[in-house]
Chains A and B, each alone.
Chain A
Amino acid sequence: MVSAIVDSMILMHYDNGHDQAIDWWERSVEDGWRFYVSIISLMERFKGIAGMYGSRDEVLQGFRERLYTMKREKKIIRVLPITRRISDHARKLMVEYCRRKTPSSNRGRMEALICDMLIAATALEQDLPLFTFNSGDFDWISELALKRPDYEIVWGGDV
């Protein structure tokens, strides 16, 4: 059994019903991977689906039910909370990031950076590798083990 954290974009691909992402996730679980998700990814997903067509309550409830199913079927082992240690670690990562790079002044990118630091800190505190497509956002954190899923999204390919 091997464990890892799956980042927000991969969760979004799966939940959005992309063949390649579902195939990768299911194959990995069959191969014995145990996937964890940060509460931050979950919050990002709630934000992402809120704009969908239909009753807001129904849309949010739908995601809650899908998430429940994923946990019941062990597609997600656990949603990892932000502990005090994780928030301390994330703060240190952010300080280090600011020493090395110039953070964007764009509000959206700033929010994304904070989310990334919290997810990276969660992976480090839990001693888990992180599956992500955004290795460029994390590769300066030398102690963080990054993995890239071996799928590509083909837009419009699976109608």
Chain B
Amino acid sequence: MTTDKKVKLARKIGGQLTGITPSEWSKWSLYATHFGLSRAIQFARTMKNSPSLRPGPKQSYRTIAGVMRRFQKELERLSQSDLAEVLGYIRQALFARRG
């Protein structure tokens, strides 16, 4: 996948992430690059209902679980390094939204 396509995909995913902080995204991305996308989405689904989390981080995991599941098939076709790159571009998109 070309860099342009990766950036485009990242912007599309980032645009759908609502109520998410770049810091929660970074933590989840790290988990996803270490343990794989499928396990990371499962992790987000668990965390979104965790009573030990504040409402804000719970919302971050709720949105990650919802949005990333929609893009799971597309992202699973990527190599590990390409996936890490796309997740990094999503983080940039989230920061860019702050202006």
Hey, which bits of chain A sit against chain B, CB under 8 A?
A: 14-20, 22-23, 25-27, 29-30, 48-49, 51-55, 58-59, 61-63, 65-67, 69-70, 73, 75, 158-159
**B-side contacts of A58, CB under 8 Å:** 11-12, 15
Q: Is the CB of A69 within 8 A of B63?
A: yes
Closest 7 pairs (CB-CB, A-B): A62-B15, A23-B56, A26-B55, A66-B18, A22-B56, A27-B55, A26-B59
Check if A22 sits within 8 Å of B19, measured CB to CB.
yes
Q: Is there contact, CB below 8 Å, between B97 and A17?
A: yes
> CA–CA, A51 to B96, complex, Å?
10
Contacts of B54 in A (CB 8 A): 23, 27
Q: Does B98 contact A (CB under 8 A)?
A: yes
Q: How many A-B residue pairs have CB under 8 A?
A: 83
A16 and B21 alpha carbons, distance in the complex (Å): 8
- Nearest CB of chain A from residue B59's CB, rounded to whole Å: 5
A137 CB to closest chain B CB, in angstroms?
A: 22
B84 at the interface (CB under 8 A from A): no
Given A69-B63, A158-B22: A17 touches B14 (CB 8 Å cut-off): no
Q: Would you give the shortest CB distance from A58 to chain B, in whole angstroms? A: 6
Q: In the complex the two chains form, is A17's CB within 8 Å of B21's CB?
A: yes
Is B75 close to A, CB under 8 A? no
B47 contacts the other chain (CB 8 A): no
Known contacts A58-B11, A158-B23; is-contact A70 B18 (Cβ 8 Å): yes
Complex contact A62–B21 (CB within 8 A): no
Q: A62-B12, A75-B19, A158-B22 are in contact. List 13 more A-B contacts (CB 8 A).
A: A17-B98, A20-B56, A25-B19, A26-B56, A27-B54, A48-B99, A51-B99, A52-B99, A53-B96, A61-B15, A65-B15, A70-B19, A159-B23
Size category of the B interface is 20 to 34
Please report the C-alpha to C-alpha distance between residue A59 and residue B97 in the assembled complex, in whole angstroms: 9
Map CB proximity to A onto B56-79 as digits: 1 under 8 Å, 0 otherwise.
Answer: 101110110010000000000000
Find out whether the CB atom of A16 lies under 8 angstroms from the CB atom of B19. no
CB distance from B88 to the nearest CB of A (A): 14
- CB–CB B15/A59 < 8 A: yes
Question: How distant is the Cα of A63 from the Cα of B70 in the complex, in angstroms?
Answer: 17
A51 to B99, CA, bound (A): 9
CB pair A17–B22 under 8 Å, yes or no, is yes
Mind listing 29 A-B residue pairs with CB under 8 Å?
A: A15-B18, A15-B97, A16-B97, A17-B21, A17-B22, A17-B94, A22-B56, A22-B59, A26-B59, A27-B56, A49-B97, A52-B99, A54-B96, A58-B11, A58-B12, A58-B15, A59-B15, A61-B15, A62-B11, A62-B14, A62-B16, A65-B15, A66-B16, A66-B18, A67-B18, A69-B63, A70-B19, A73-B62, A158-B23
